[in-house]
Amino acid sequence: MDLDLLQATLAQRGQPAFRARQVWEWMARGASSYAQMTNLPEALRDDLERSVPLSSLTLEREALASDGTEKALFHTADARPLEAVLMRYRGGAKHSASVQTPSRGRRSLCLSSQSGCPLTCSFCATGSMAFGRNLTASEILDQALHFKRRESSARHPASPSESQGAVPAPRIDHCVFMGMGEPLLNLDNVLAACERLPDIGIHPSSTTVSTVGWIPGIDRLAERDGPTIRLALSLHAPDDALRSELMPVNERYPLADVLDACRRWHAARRRRVYVEYLMLGGVNDHYEQAIALAALLAPRTAFKVNLIPYNPTDSSFEGSSRDAIDAFRSALEERGVPATVRLTRGRDIDAACGQLAAGAGAGADADADARAASAAPAR
C-alpha cells in the first residue's frame, strides 16, 4: 500500500490521524480487502477502496516449487520489474508419503530493494539489465504484505474477534534483503521498511541486509540508533584480483577496506557478519583459496561463512562439486572459521531472484537468489 497516498487521502477527507494506523494494522495482519477493516466506517472503507489500492505493486506472475518455495514477479506503477520470494521450512509441518504440506514451520522472505541494479557483478544478470530505480519503502513492504496475505488467507480468521479456536496461521518471521538490487544504495527506504516489519511479525534480529561491500552504508548501519539489523557480506573471492573480476565494485572498495568496515560494524553491534561465498566451479573453490579466505577473516568471533551452491542460470559459470564444497568447508573449519553449506531452494521454478523477470524479458539476477539461499538452514 502506498502509505503516503493513504495518509494524504485520509487528510483530504478530514479523517483523524489514527485512521492511517488502523488501516496499517489490518494490512500487517494480512487483510486482503477494506471490507475486513470493520473498525473503519463503512463509507470510508468504500472511499478507500476506490482511492487507495491495497498494493502499490501489480502481480505479474507466480511460481511454486515442490519444496514450498514461492516466487512472485511484480511491476511497479511505472512498470519497473521486481521479484520477491517466500521460503517455507518444514518445522512443524505435516507430511504424507508423497506430499509435504507446509504449515507452522519458519517462513523467510527474500525482498528486493531496487528494480535492477547499478552494480555489474559478472555472475549477476540483474547487473546486465538497465537499472530502473530505488524502490520506495511502500514498494518494499508490499512485497512482504503480498506473502503475508497469502499465508494468512488459508488459516487466519477475517477479524481478530474470530481468532479464538482458529488454527494459527503460519508465521512469516524472517526477512533477507537479498533480492534485486544493492540495499545499501537505498538505505533510507530499506530502513523505513524495516521499522514496520515488526508489525508483520519480523523482528530486527531476524532481518538481514546483504551488501556487496558498500562501505558508507556499512558504516551507517554501525552508527545508527535503533535495534541491530543483521549484516551479510557478498564476498565470493579471497583476493582483490579475482574479486574485482567478479565484482567491479571491488575497484572502488577493496577487500581489505570492506573487511575493516565489517569489523567496525561488529565492534559496534556485537554480532557476527555473515560472509556469503558463492561456490563457482574452478573459479573460487580451490583448497588454497579456502586457506586464503580463512586468513582474511579475523577475529574469528566477527565472521561466519555461508558457502552457497551456485544456482545455475544462463551465465558461463558452473557450480562447484559437492566434494569441492565439503573440502572448502573443512579447510575453513580446521582454521577456526565457522562455516555452513546452505541448502538451495526453488530450483524447479528458477527461484534465483530475477529469473522470472528474465523469462518475461525484463532481466535477471543470478546471484541474488544464490545469496537468498543463505537464509536456508545449514545441512
CATH number for the domain that contains residue 241:
3.20.20.70
The answer to whether residue 250 sits within a structural domain is yes
Same domain, 295 and 346: yes
Cα separation, 267 vs 7, in Å, equals 39
Is the pLDDT assigned to residue 78 strictly greater than 50? yes
The answer to whether residue 186 sits within a structural domain is yes
Domain harbouring 42, CATH code? 1.10.150
**Which of 70, 83, 151, 276 is labelled catalytic?**
83
Same domain, 76 and 225: yes
| Predicted pLDDT at 170 | 61
Strand 207-211, strand 230-234: pairing = parallel
Same domain, 140 and 240: yes
Same domain, 244 and 335: yes
- Rounded alpha-carbon distances, angstroms, from residue 95 to 91, 101, 102, 184, 200: 11, 6, 8, 40, 27
Q: Which helix (H) or strand (E) holds 144?
A: helix 137-155
| Predicted pLDDT at 186 | 98
Number of CB atoms found within 10 A of residue 216's CB: 12
Q: Which amino acid is at 331?
A: A
The answer to whether residue 99 sits within a structural domain is no
CB 264 within 8 A of CB 299: no
Q: Per the structure block, which three cell numbers stand in for 377? A: 538452514
Same domain, 45 and 124: no
**Which of 124, 175, 194, 353 is labelled catalytic?**
353
When mean pLDDT is compared across 130-134, 154-158, 168-172, 302-306, the lowest value belongs to 154-158
| Predicted pLDDT at 376 | 43
Domain range for residue 34?
Answer: 3-51
| Predicted pLDDT at 311 | 77
pLDDT tens digits along 249-280: 999 999 999 999 999 999 999 999 999 999 99
Q: Per the structure block, which three cell numbers stand in for 298? A: 579475523
State percent of the chain over pLDDT 90. 70
CB 377 within 8 A of CB 343: yes
| Predicted pLDDT at 379 | 38
State percent of the chain over pLDDT 70. 81
Q: Which helix (H) or strand (E) holds 276?
A: strand 273-279
Q: Is 334 a catalytic residue?
A: no
Handedness of CA 266, 245, 177, 87 (dihedral sign): negative
| Predicted pLDDT at 129 | 75
Residues in the chain, total: 379
- Rounded alpha-carbon distances, angstroms, from residue 218 to 129, 136, 222, 326: 25, 20, 6, 31
Same domain, 360 and 259: yes
Same domain, 305 and 244: yes
Buried b (16+ CB within 10 A) or exposed e, 274-294: bbbbbbbeebbbbeebbeebb
Split at pLDDT 50, 70, 90, the class of 152 is confident
Same domain, 115 and 42: no
Query: Which residues have CB under 8 Å from 20's CB, separation 6+?
Result: 3, 6, 7, 10
Cα separation, 365 vs 270, in Å, equals 31
Same domain, 205 and 221: yes
The answer to whether residue 164 sits within a structural domain is no
Phi, psi (deg, nearest 5) at residue 67: -90, 5
Same domain, 136 and 248: yes
Is the pLDDT assigned to residue 162 strictly greater than 60? no
Average pLDDT over residues 222-248: 96
Query: How large is the angle between the packed helices 215-223 and 255-269, nearest 10 degrees?
Result: 10
The answer to whether residue 101 sits within a structural domain is no
The answer to whether residue 243 sits within a structural domain is yes
| Predicted pLDDT at 157 | 46
Q: Per the structure block, which three cell numbers stand in for 151? A: 499465508
Same domain, 368 and 288: yes
The answer to whether residue 165 sits within a structural domain is no
Strand 100-101, strand 94-95: pairing = antiparallel
Average pLDDT over residues 22-48: 96
Same domain, 14 and 147: no
Is the pLDDT assigned to residue 296 strictly greater than 60? yes
Query: Which residues have CB under 8 Å from 309's CB, separation 6+?
Result: 279, 319, 320, 325, 341, 342, 344, 370, 373
Number of domains in the chain: 2
Is the pLDDT assigned to residue 196 strictly greater than 60? yes
Q: Per the structure block, which three cell numbers stand in for 198? A: 515488526
**Distance of alpha carbon 333 from its chain centroid, rounded?**
27
pLDDT tens digits along 312-366: 666 788 999 999 999 999 999 999 999 999 877 666 655 555 555 555 554 444 4
Q: What is the mean pLDDT of the chain?
A: 86
3-state secondary structure of 62: strand
Cα separation, 189 vs 202, in Å, equals 17
CB 273 within 8 A of CB 302: yes
The answer to whether residue 246 sits within a structural domain is yes
Q: Is 353 a catalytic residue?
A: yes
When mean pLDDT is compared across 72-81, 87-96, 148-157, 361-370, the lowest value belongs to 361-370
